C-alpha cells in the first residue's frame, strides 16, 4: 500500500484524467491570489469509473470533480431547511456528486424507455417495446424481473469506481501526517462546554474502538487534537477557537462507505448494492500516504477488523471480496499512490508544506472559499435529464471532451451569489438534501415513467411523499427492504466507528421549501 507507481499505470492515468477536468473549469471556480498577496489553496477530489479494468477494452470515465475545505457549524443547522450543504470538503462533495450522477443515469434510462414505448404506441404495433429495446446505459442496467420488491437497477458488474484526491483525507488516516506537520505537536485542548452530552447515544460502543486509548473520550474529538487517541471518530478539523461542528472527518465517512457502499439512502432505493457499488480504491500522492494511518483507518487489521469474517449485522457480509457478491458487507478499498513528481506537476493549488524554521519566506496561505462542483451528463437521455433535473443551473457545454450534466460554484454551502445565513431555493445546490430528495421524488412519481410500468412499487411512492425529511429517512429505513438492509449495515459499522455522534438538527422541513416564494423579477 502506498508504493510508488510508474507514471503510466492506472492510478497515474486516473489522476491525469481528474486533473485535466479540473484544469478545464473556468477560473471563477479556482483558488486565487488575493489583493494582499495571500495565496489560496484547496483540496480537490474526483470520481472515475473504470470499465473492463485490465482488459483491452478498458475505459476510464471521469464522472465528477469537486473541490472544497469547509463545513457547517452545528449551530447553523437549524436554519438550513435542507437548502445548505453541511459538508463541502472535496471528498464528501465527490461522494454526493457520484450519487447525483447515478440518479441522473437511472433517469436517462427511464427516459429512453419512455420514448421507445411512445414510439411503439404511435405506430400502433399492438404492444409496447420492452425495456431491452431502449438505448442502453454504459453504466446502469435493469436487474432481472424476478428481483421483485428490490431496487430495479444495478451498476454494470464490469465497473470499478475510484476516488482521486490531492491530499490525505482529514481524520484518522492522516493523523501521522498532521502530527509531523506541526511546529508545536502539542494536542489542542478539548473544548468541553459545546461537547457535553454529544455522544451519550454511542458511549456504550466506545469500548470496541480499536487502536485507541483504553477509555477514549465519548465526545467527538477535534480534528487535529489529542494525538494520543487513534482509531477513533473525529470531527472535521478547524481552528481550536472555531464554532464547533459535528461533521465527521473524511476518513470516518470514507470508512463508513466501506460498509454502506457509495450509494446514499436515496439512490439505494433504485440501484442495488453490488460489488460495483463499492469504492475500489483511493488514489493519493505518495507524500500524502501514511501506511500506518491508512491501515488503521481503513484496513482489514485496523479499526474495521471487527467486521472482517463475520456476517453479524450485515446482509450477505462474509468478509470476502468476491466480484459476484451482493448485499452490504465490509469491502475495504485499496490505497493507490502516484509519484510525488507527477502529483506536483498536476496540482498547483495544494496546501504548502511547512517551511523550515530558518526560512525567510513571508508568503501567506489560506484555504480557498470557493468550491467547484462538476458532474458529467448521463450516457443516455442527456437532453431530457440535464434540462429536467438541473434546470436553472449554469451549464458548461463540455469539459475536457465530456458533456456537462452539472456545474456549480459553492460558497458557504450554497451556490455562489446566495447566503447560507438566509438560504433560499435559488441558492440550493443540486446536491443539497432537499434537491436530492426532490429529484428522487420526480423520478418515482413522474406520470411519464409510470406509463411504461418501470416503477410500480407503491411503497416507493409513499416513501417519497411523506411530509418531512425526518419522516422520509425514517420511512426508507423501516418501510423498504433495501432501506432496512442499509440501516442494519450502518448500525454494524458504527459498532467499530466510535464515537459516531449524529449531525442532527436539519430534518424538520418538507419539499415545500422548493417552492420559490420570492422569484427574481425578469429583467426588461
> Pick from 152, 149, 82, 111: which is nearest to 437 by CA?
82
Measured distance CA(340)–CA(285) in Å, rounded: 6
Q: Residue 200's CB: how many other CB atoms inside 10 A?
A: 11
pLDDT tens-digit map of 256-301:
999 999 999 999 999 999 999 999 999 999 999 999 999 999 999 9
C-alpha grid cell, residue 215: 477509555
Per-residue pLDDT of the chain (524 residues), as tens digits, is 444 446 689 999 999 999 999 999 999 999 999 999 999 999 999 999 999 999 999 999 999 999 999 999 999 999 999 999 999 999 999 999 999 999 999 999 988 888 777 765 555 555 544 444 556 899 999 987 655 567 999 999 999 999 999 999 999 999 999 888 877 666 655 554 444 333 333 333 333 333 433 334 456 777 777 888 899 999 997 666 667 889 999 999 999 999 999 999 999 999 999 999 999 999 999 999 999 999 999 999 999 999 987 554 565 444 444 434 568 999 999 999 999 999 999 999 998 876 544 444 567 899 999 999 999 999 987 776 765 555 455 678 999 999 999 999 999 999 999 999 999 999 999 999 999 999 999 999 875 555 555 665 788 899 999 999 999 999 999 999 899 999 999 999 999 999 999 999 999 999 999 998 776 654 44
Half-sphere exposure (CA, 13 Å, Cβ side) for 363?
Answer: 13
Q: Which residues contact 439 (CB under 8 A, 6 or more apart)?
A: 100, 103, 107, 266, 389, 430
Phi/psi of residue 235, each to 5°? Answer: -85, 165
* Burial letters 45-54, b for 16+ CB under 10 A, else e: bbbbbbbeee
CA distance 250 to 234: 9
First to last CA, the chain: 60
50: CB partners within 8 A, 6+ apart: 10, 14, 58, 59, 60, 61, 159, 160, 161, 162, 280
Assign 164 to helix, strand or coil. Answer: strand
Q: What are phi and psi of 501, to 5 degrees?
A: -95, 120
Q: What is the DSSP secondary-structure string of 61-117?
A: EEEEEEE---B--GGGGGGTTT-S-SB--HHHHHHHHHHHHHHHHHHHHHHHHHHHH
The three-state (H, E, C) secondary structure of 256-285, written as one string: HHHHHCCCCCCHHHCECCEHHHCEEEEEEE
Q: Please report, to the nearest 10 degrees, the dihedral formed by the alpha carbons of residues 57, 48, 316, 311 taken in order.
A: 130
Percent of the chain surpassing pLDDT 90: 64
Q: What is the DSSP letter of 522?
A: P
Signed CA dihedral, 243, 435, 490, 156: sign only: negative
Report CA-CA distances (Å) from 64 to 102, 126, 307, 336: 11, 42, 30, 19
Question: Cα–Cα distance between 426 and 296 in angstroms, integer?
Answer: 42
Largest CA distance in the chain: 83
How many angstroms separate the CA atoms of 93 and 410, rounded?
A: 10
Angle formed by the axes of helices 481-493 and 250-260, nearest 10°: 130
- Contact, 249 vs 169, CB < 8 A? yes
CB atoms within 10 A of CB 453: 11
Amino acid at each position: 500500500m502506498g508504493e510508488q507507481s510508474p507514471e503510466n499505470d492506472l492510478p497515474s492515468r486516473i489522476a491525469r484524467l481528474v486533473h485535466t477536468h479540473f484544469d478545464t473549469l473556468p477560473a471563477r471556480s479556482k483558488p486565487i491570489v488575493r489583493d494582499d498577496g495571500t495565496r489560496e489553496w484547496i483540496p480537490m477530489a474526483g470520481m472515475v469509473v473504470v470499465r473492463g479494468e485490465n482488459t483491452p477494452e478498458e475505459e476510464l470515465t471521469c464522472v465528477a470533480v469537486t473541490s472544497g475545505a469547509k463545513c457547517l457549524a452545528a449551530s447553523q443547522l437549524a436554519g438550513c431547511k435542507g437548502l445548505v450543504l453541511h459538508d463541502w470538503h472535496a471528498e464528501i462533495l465527490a461522494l454526493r456528486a457520484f450519487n447525483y450522477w447515478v440518479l441522473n443515469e437511472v433517469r436517462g434510462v427511464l427516459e429512453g424507455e419512455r420514448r421507445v414505448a411512445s414510439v411503439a404506441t404511435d405506430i400502433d404495433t399492438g404492444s409496447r417495446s420492452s425495456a431491452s429495446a431502449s438505448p442502453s446505459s454504459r453504466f446502469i442496467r435493469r436487474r432481472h424481473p424476478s428481483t421483485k420488491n428490490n431496487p430495479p437497477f444495478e451498476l454494470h458488474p464490469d465497473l470499478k469506481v475510484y476516488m482521486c484526491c490531492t491530499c490525505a483525507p482529514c481524520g484518522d488516516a492522516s493523523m501521522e501526517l498532521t502530527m509531523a506537520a506541526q511546529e508545536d505537536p502539542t494536542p489542542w485542548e478539548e473544548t468541553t462546554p459545546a461537547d457535553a452530552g454529544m455522544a451519550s447515544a454511542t458511549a456504550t460502543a466506545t469500548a470496541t474502538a480499536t487502536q485507541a486509548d483504553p477509555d477514549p473520550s465519548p465526545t467527538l474529538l477535534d480534528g487535529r487534537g489529542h494525538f494520543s487517541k487513534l482509531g477513533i471518530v473525529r470531527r472535521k478539523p478547524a481552528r481550536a477557537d472555531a464554532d464547533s461542528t459535528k461533521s465527521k472527518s473524511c476518513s470516518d465517512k470514507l470508512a463508513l462507505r466501506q460498509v454502506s457502499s457509495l450509494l446514499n439512502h436515496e439512490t439505494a432505493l433504485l440501484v442495488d448494492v453490488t460489488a460495483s457499488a463499492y469504492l475500489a480504491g483511493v488514489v493519493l500522492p505518495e507524500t500524502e500516504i501514511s501506511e500506518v494511518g491508512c491501515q488503521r483507518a481503513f484496513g482489514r487489521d485496523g479499526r474495521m477488523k471487527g467486521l472482517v469474517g463475520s456476517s453479524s449485522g450485515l446482509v450477505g457480509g462474509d468478509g470476502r471480496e468476491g466480484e459476484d457478491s451482493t448485499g452490504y458487507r465490509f469491502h475495504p478499498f485499496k490505497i493507490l499512490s502516484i509519484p510525488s513528481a507527477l502529483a506536483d506537476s498536476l496540482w498547483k493549488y495544494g496546501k504548502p508544506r511547512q517551511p523550515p524554521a530558518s526560512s525567510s519566506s513571508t508568503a501567506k496561505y489560506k484555504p480557498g472559499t470557493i468550491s467547484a462542483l462538476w458532474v458529467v451528463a448521463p450516457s443516455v437521455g442527456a437532453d431530457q435529464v440535464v434540462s429536467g433535473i438541473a434546470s436553472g443551473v449554469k451549464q458548461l457545454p463540455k469539459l475536457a471532451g465530456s458533456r456537462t450534466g452539472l456545474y456549480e460554484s459553492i460558497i458557504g454551502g450554497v451556490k455562489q451569489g446566495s447566503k447560507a445565513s438566509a438560504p433560499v431555493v435559488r441558492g440550493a445546490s443540486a446536491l443539497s438534501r432537499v434537491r436530492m430528495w426532490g429529484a428522487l421524488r420526480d423520478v418515482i412519481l413522474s406520470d411519464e415513467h409510470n406509463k411504461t410500468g418501470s416503477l410500480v412499487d407503491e411503497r416507493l411512492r409513499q416513501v417519497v411523499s411523506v411530509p418531512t425529511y425526518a419522516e422520509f429517512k425514517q420511512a426508507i429505513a423501516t418501510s423498504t427492504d433495501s432501506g432496512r438492509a442499509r440501516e442494519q449495515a450502518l448500525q454494524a459499522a458504527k459498532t467499530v466507528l466510535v464515537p459516531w455522534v449524529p449531525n442532527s438538527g436539519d430534518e424538520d422541513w418538507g419539499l415545500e421549501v422548493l417552492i420559490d416564494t420570492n422569484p427574481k423579477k425578469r429583467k426588461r
